[in-house]
């Protein structure tokens, strides 16, 4: 069979080269359609309980709030100039396309009671730039009197302030996120330059954008570094341009084909599939080296170029095929996992490894047949003394020292098994970033000041419509919030309870001591106010973010630290029984 393949390749050289060129042009065209993954990686199978629960949450409450966080250690509530500039920055950011709202100490809303209309109205605390320090002092007193915002938009003990920029959830999972982030960063960098400070950045949109930038940049870097290192090694070995040219041409075609295959299969470039192009270079070079090296050896032995090319196809083709097939089969095992990311990686990698073999076995003999036969100086690498000595030493060790070879092999296997036992699954959101990356440092800053930025949701199913707003349910949710407050991993939680406490405080003239749940005997007075709660007379339900339309489901929202998988499992294992106990009675 291999003799027939060799005859076909050498006789159909020109059609083969034209066909490969046309396919490469097509793959190059398709590679322009490759797109980066903007959504979070789908690591869980579709029927995983966590993923199912997340889908149910979105069906009930829609997409969760997605925010970019800006943090500053400057005393926003003490400096009139800085406060006004912070206010102006927030207004500028609110005007950025796809930004929904901006929340900071300069952009807070307060709840006011409209006794005539029997409703609560949302009014901005700050409506314009402040003109005097006394105005700022009054604003500071007003904000400090609202427990709802304490340790949410500012840290009461350290004075650190945060600006939360809520963005359109649809943009969070689209390429438009990048242009939005660029607009935001442009404005914040100008603010930083004016005040000579460095703001802290975090939040899922920012972290995901930085990770995507890292993947995009390192994809190009991987390919460039792999090409440079490969050229250096090939030049050192062959000391001749044609073998290097042929080898690099084939692997670069393989890179183009790999990107084209990703586009043809309608996959996105993820942190895993981004390593396929450099992987193609690493795997493809040995194919070319085997064939070219054997060609030089054959031609040196008898001086017949066509015979040498025919023999490399027949002798090396089968061995190279087996090598590539076993490698492709190894990568194809990812296809049998339940993770979409791993499945896509396995499919693309295995297909491209097999295509790389086809490129090598068809192109190397075809191209070499048009080149001049190698001269004696081009085949000196076959007789390099150090290579001969190295091979002879390997033969001698394998032949004469079998027991030591077995012992060393077993020791290495044991060492590898020990290493495997030491491996841990972390599952942190910023695992893809270097530990000293500014994003990681800023994330730790927000964890220290506000106990984290990662979203954490608890859904409460009361199993009966209207139960979520009952006094008994509200007391249990309040107890749940107090429970979450005992964990260092969680920020100050937010739920319907906080909204009702805020409304009660407004009902009693803004007295901070009245920030608590409505008593049973007060509900009759509060009911019309809560039902008509809104801003600007729009009649927007003040509590609709935390309770569904049927008042059967309630949600408790918190942010948490970016802890690892093991820590998360331990946390949930400890927390869940306590939560179940609260709602069991």
Could you give the dihedral angle defined by the CA atoms of residues 92, 545, 510 and 85, in that order, rounded to the nearest 10 degrees?
A: -10
Q: Tell me, what CATH number does 307's domain have? A: 1.20.1640.10
Residue 336 DSSP label: G
Helix or strand or coil: residue 129?
A: coil
Q: Which residue has the higher pLDDT, 423 or 531?
A: 423
Query: Tokens representing 522?
Result: 């007060």
- Closest to 166 in 3D by CA, of 192, 201, 205, 122: 205
CA dihedral (77, 78, 82, 84) positive or negative: positive
Rg, Å, the chain Cα set: 33
pLDDT value of position 539: 37
Q: Assess whether pLDDT exceeds 90 at residue 469.
A: no
Tell me, yes or no, whether 193 lies in a domain: no
pLDDT value of position 7: 83
Tell me, yes or no, whether 222 lies in a domain: yes
pLDDT value of position 256: 92
pLDDT value of position 23: 93
Q: Which residue has the higher pLDDT, 386 or 76?
A: 76
* pTM of the complete model: 0.77
Q: Assess whether pLDDT exceeds 80 at residue 100.
A: yes
Tens digit of each residue's pLDDT (9 = 90 or more) over 559-573: 888 887 888 888 889
C-alpha 121/C-alpha 525 separation (Å) is 16
Q: Tell me if 250 sits within 8 A of 363, measured CB to CB.
A: yes
Number of neighbours of residue 386 by Cβ within 10 angstroms: 7
Tell me, yes or no, whether 429 lies in a domain: no
Length of the chain: 585
Tens digit of each residue's pLDDT (9 = 90 or more) over 474-489: 899 999 999 998 988 8
Tell me, yes or no, whether 447 lies in a domain: no
Average pLDDT rounded to a whole number, residues 143-164: 89
Average pLDDT rounded to a whole number, residues 402-415: 93
pLDDT value of position 187: 93
pLDDT value of position 260: 92
C-alpha 111/C-alpha 108 separation (Å) is 10
Tens digit of each residue's pLDDT (9 = 90 or more) over 222-273: 788 888 888 888 887 777 788 888 888 888 899 999 999 999 998 888 778 8
* DSSP letter for each residue of 153-206: TB-TTT--EEEEEEE-HHHHTSTHHHHHHHHHHHHHHHHHHHHT---EEESHHH
CA 71, chain centre distance (Å): 22
pLDDT value of position 215: 73
pLDDT value of position 538: 40
Mean pLDDT, rounded, of the chain = 84
Q: Assess whether pLDDT exceeds 80 at residue 39.
A: no
* Total number of domains in the chain: 1
Quick one: what percent of the chain has pLDDT higher than 90?
18
Look up the domain containing 15 and give its range. Answer: 2-43+216-378
Q: Assess whether pLDDT exceeds 80 at residue 542.
A: no
Tell me, yes or no, whether 169 lies in a domain: no
pLDDT value of position 163: 92
pLDDT value of position 534: 45
Number of neighbours of residue 130 by Cβ within 10 angstroms: 18
Tell me, yes or no, whether 405 lies in a domain: no
pLDDT bucket at 42, cuts 50 / 70 / 90: low
- Closest to 338 in 3D by CA, of 43, 49, 565: 43
Task: Specify which of 15-29, 33-47, 55-69 reaches the highest per-range mean pLDDT.
Answer: 15-29
pLDDT bucket at 457, cuts 50 / 70 / 90: confident
Q: Which residue has the higher pLDDT, 584 or 529?
A: 584
Average pLDDT rounded to a whole number, residues 205-229: 81
Tens digit of each residue's pLDDT (9 = 90 or more) over 22-36: 999 999 999 888 877
Tell me, yes or no, whether 388 lies in a domain: no
pLDDT value of position 535: 43
pLDDT value of position 70: 92
C-alpha 130/C-alpha 80 separation (Å) is 7
Q: Provide the b/e sequence for 200-209 (b: ≥16 CB within 10 Å).
A: bbbbbbbbbb
Q: Tell me if 210 sits within 8 A of 433, measured CB to CB.
A: yes
Tell me how far CA of residue 521 lies from CA of 353, 399, 471, 516, 567, in angstroms: 74, 94, 11, 14, 43
pLDDT bucket at 537, cuts 50 / 70 / 90: very low
Tell me, yes or no, whether 177 lies in a domain: no
Q: Tell me if 120 sits within 8 A of 503, measured CB to CB.
A: yes
pLDDT value of position 342: 87
Average pLDDT rounded to a whole number, residues 492-499: 88
């Amino acid at each position: 069979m291999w003799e027939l393949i060799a005859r076909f390749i050498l006789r159909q050289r020109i059609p083969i080269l034209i066909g490969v060129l046309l396919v490469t042009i097509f793959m190059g065209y398709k590679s322009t359609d490759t797109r980066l993954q903007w959504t979070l990686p789908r690591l869980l199978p579709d029927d995983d309980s966590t993923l199912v629960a997340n889908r149910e949450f979105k069906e009930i409450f829609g997409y969760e709030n997605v925010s970019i966080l800006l943090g500053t250690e400057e005393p926003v509530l003490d400096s009139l100039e800085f406060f006004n500039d912070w206010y102006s920055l927030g207004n500028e950011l609110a005007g950025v396309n796809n930004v929904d709202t901006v929340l900071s100490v300069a952009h807070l809303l307060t709840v006011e009671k409209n006794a005539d209309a029997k409703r609560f109205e949302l009014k901005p605390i700050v409506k314009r730039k402040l003109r005097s320090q006394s105005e700022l002092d009054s604003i500071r007193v007003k904000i400090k009197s609202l427990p709802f915002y304490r340790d949410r938009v500012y840290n009461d003990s350290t004075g650190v302030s945060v600006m939360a920029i809520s963005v359109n959830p649809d943009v969070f999972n689209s390429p438009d996120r990048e242009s939005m982030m660029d607009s935001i960063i442009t404005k914040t960098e100008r603010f930083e330059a004016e005040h000579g400070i460095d703001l802290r950045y975090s939040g899922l949109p920012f972290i995901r954008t930085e990770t995507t930038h890292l993947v995009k940049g390192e994809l190009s870097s991987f390919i460039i570094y792999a090409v440079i290192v490969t050229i250096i090694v090939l030049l050192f070995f062959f000391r001749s341009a044609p073998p290097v040219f042929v080898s690099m041409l084939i692997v670069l075609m393989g890179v183009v084909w790999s990107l084209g295959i990703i586009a043809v299969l309608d996959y996105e470039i993820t942190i895993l599939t981004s390593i396929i192009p450099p992987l193609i270079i690493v795997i493809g070079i040995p194919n070319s080296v085997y064939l070219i090296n054997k060609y030089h050896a054959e031609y040196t032995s008898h001086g017949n170029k066509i015979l040498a090319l025919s023999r490399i196809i027949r002798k090396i083709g089968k061995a190279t095929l087996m090598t590539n097939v076993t490698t492709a089969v190894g990568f194809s095992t990812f296809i049998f996992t339940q993770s979409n990311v791993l499945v896509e990686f396995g499919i693309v990698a295995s297909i491209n490894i097999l295509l790389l073999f086809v490129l090598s076995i068809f192109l190397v003999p075809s191209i070499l047949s048009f080149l001049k036969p190698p001269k004696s100086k081009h085949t000196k690498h076959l007789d390099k003394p150090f290579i001969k000595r190295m091979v002879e030493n390997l033969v001698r060790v394998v032949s004469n020292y079998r027991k030591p070879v077995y012992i060393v092999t077993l020791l290495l296997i044991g060492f590898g098994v020990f290493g495997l036992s030491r491996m841990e699954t972390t599952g942190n959101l910023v695992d893809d970033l270097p530990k000293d990356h500014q994003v990681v440092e800023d994330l730790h800053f927000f964890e220290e000041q506000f106990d984290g930025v990662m979203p954490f949701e608890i859904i409460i199913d009361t199993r009966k419509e209207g139960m979520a707003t009952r006094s008994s349910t509200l007391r249990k949710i309040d107890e749940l919030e107090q429970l979450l407050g005992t964990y260092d991993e969680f920020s100050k939680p937010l739920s319907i309870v906080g909204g009702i406490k805020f409304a009660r405080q407004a009902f009693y003239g803004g007295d901070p001591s009245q920030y608590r749940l409505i008593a049973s005997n007060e509900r009759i007075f509060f009911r019309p106010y809560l039902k008509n709660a809104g801003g600007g007379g729009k009649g927007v339900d003040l509590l609709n973010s935390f309770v569904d339309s049927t008042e059967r489901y309630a949600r408790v929202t918190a942010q948490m630290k970016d802890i690892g998988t093991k820590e998360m499992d331990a946390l949930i294992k400890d927390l869940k029984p306590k939560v179940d106990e609260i709602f069991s009675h």
